[in-house]
Amino acid sequence: MHSYIVVMIIVCFLWAGFMGAISFMESWLKFRAEGVQLAAGLSIGRLIFRTLNRIEWVYLIILWGGYILAKPSPLPKDALAYFILSLIMLIQTVFLLPAMDKRAAARINGQKVASSIMLHIWYPGLELIKFIVLIYAGISLLGIVK
């Protein structure tokens, strides 16, 4: 087994862990903390999600790099997992995060904003799919380690 497979396994589960801690806990818990005003929570969220997105791109590049190094891949279906991750990352980076960031900035500046229910359905929905794909990819890679 090559060391890059181990790195890929670590990346899959580390990335999933980041998502579990941030997307599924921090994002809504911060608004439940006593004394956290909406503007402060939104400002913190903007910073955290912008940083997480950059880290996720690094993780995605590492996964594709490992996949390319493993050619021919022992698990060709892994390419589908990395493609799905790439597509979700593109949708989030190009469309969803900028829209949510713009909305948060307007709220922080005291402006009224239209409902964002669709953003708040799409983003967590894609996060859930991304999380499942990462767990699948990590388990799939563990199958190589025999």
Q: Is the pTM of this model over 0.95?
A: no
| Residue for token pair 């922080």 | 108
Place of tokens 């880290």: 55
Q: At what angle do helices 78-91 and 119-142 cross, to 10 degrees?
A: 160
35: left (phi over 0), alpha (psi -120 to 50) or beta: left
Backbone angles phi, psi at 138, to 5 degrees: -65, -45
Q: Tell me: the pLDDT tens digits for 122-135?
A: 999 999 999 999 99
* pLDDT range class, residue 107, cuts 50, 70, 90: very high
